[in-house]
């Protein structure tokens, strides 16, 4: 083992290992840090937040203000360093792999739409013109421990919703604005929304399910399908 094998700046190491080393060397047990600082340190890597969460099943204890109310929303607290994942024999600690089949099954079950915001792959976010959504898998219950690998424990999320799963700061919208929109809904839609809230997931309607599947078709077939529907409605 060389010094570079335990240097969080070493881009050749896996992201989870780099995050672990950064926490050990730059934060230290008993100290707080922010996601922004973590992201600024581990550059050029995708899904840094998720890799940090992946340390938890390896015995790392990282608190948010959800389970430690003395923390500010943007603060995280390193309570315990777990398995030394930078050592070869611990590299896979706490990680169970999601099989390619499970991945496909979950996407298909969710009609290739984010279960939180309903966006489909490669669609643009309404509040971010020109953006492109990327789908990934997230766990059903954010509070769970261990890594989720079974279809029932997983759901389709876009990368943005996945990254914000544990963010409590409400960075994009204020509570008052959200409530204003909710209050303006007619009764039956408020009731529907309450159902989604209780399930912590959007329940797809038949038309949304059809839309999600349609969006998976290649462009030529989408055009043909659109024409067929037009013809069907004319007849």
The contact set with Zn ion (CB under 5 A) reads 114, 116-117, 158, 161
Cβ atoms of 115 and 155 within 8 Å: the answer is yes
Please list, residue by residue across 192-204, b when 16 or more beta carbons sit within 10 angstroms of its beta carbon and e when fewer do: eeeeeeeeebbeb
Which of 98, 117 has the CB closer to Zn ion? Answer: 117
- Cα 191 to Cα 185, 194, 198, 207: the distances in Å are 10, 5, 11, 19
**Least CB distance to Zn ion at residue 136 (A):** 10
**Least CB distance to Zn ion at residue 112 (A):** 12
Which of 24, 211 has the CB closer to Zn ion? Answer: 211
Cβ atoms of 166 and 53 within 8 Å: the answer is yes
Which of 79, 123 has the CB closer to Zn ion? Answer: 123
Cβ atoms of 106 and 154 within 8 Å: the answer is yes
Which of 17, 114 has the CB closer to Zn ion? Answer: 114
**Least CB distance to Zn ion at residue 234 (A):** 35
Q: How far, in Å, CA of 23 to CA of 119, rounded?
A: 33
**Least CB distance to Zn ion at residue 125 (A):** 8
Structure-token pair, residue 202? 């959007």
- DSSP secondary structure letters along 15-62: HHHHHHHHIIIII-TT-EEEHHHHHHHSTT-S-HHHHHHTTGGGT-EE
**Least CB distance to Zn ion at residue 158 (A):** 3
**Least CB distance to Zn ion at residue 86 (A):** 33
Which of 131, 227 has the CB closer to Zn ion? Answer: 131
Which of 13, 157 has the CB closer to Zn ion? Answer: 157
Element holding 197 (H helix, E strand) = helix 187-199
């Amino acid at each position: 083992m060389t010094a570079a094998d335990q240097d969080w700046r070493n881009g050749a190491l896996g992201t989870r290992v780099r995050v672990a080393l950064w926490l050990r060397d730059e934060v230290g047990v008993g100290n707080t840090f922010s996601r922004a600082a973590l992201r600024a340190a581990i550059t050029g890597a995708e899904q840094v937040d998720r890799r940090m969460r992946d340390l938890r099943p390896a015995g790392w204890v990282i608190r948010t203000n959800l389970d430690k109310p003395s923390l500010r929303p943007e603060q995280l607290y390193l309570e315990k360093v777990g398995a030394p994942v930078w050592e070869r024999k611990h590299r896979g600690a706490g990680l169970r792999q999601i099989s390619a089949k499970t991945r496909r099954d979950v996407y298909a079950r969710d009609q290739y739409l984010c279960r939180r915001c309903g966006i489909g792959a490669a669609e643009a976010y309404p509040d971010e013109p020109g953006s492109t959504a990327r789908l990934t898998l997230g766990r059903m219950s954010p509070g769970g421990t261990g890594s989720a690998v079974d279809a029932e424990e997983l759901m389709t999320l876009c990368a943005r919703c996945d990254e914000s799963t544990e963010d409590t700061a409400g960075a994009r919208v204020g509570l008052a604005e959200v409530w204003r929109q909710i209050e303006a809904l007619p009764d039956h839609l408020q009731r529907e929304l309450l159902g989604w809230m209780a399930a912590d997931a959007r329940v797809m309607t038949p038309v949304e399910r059809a839309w999600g599947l349609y969006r998976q078709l290649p462009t030529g077939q989408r055009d043909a399908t659109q024409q067929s529907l037009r013809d069907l409605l004319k007849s």
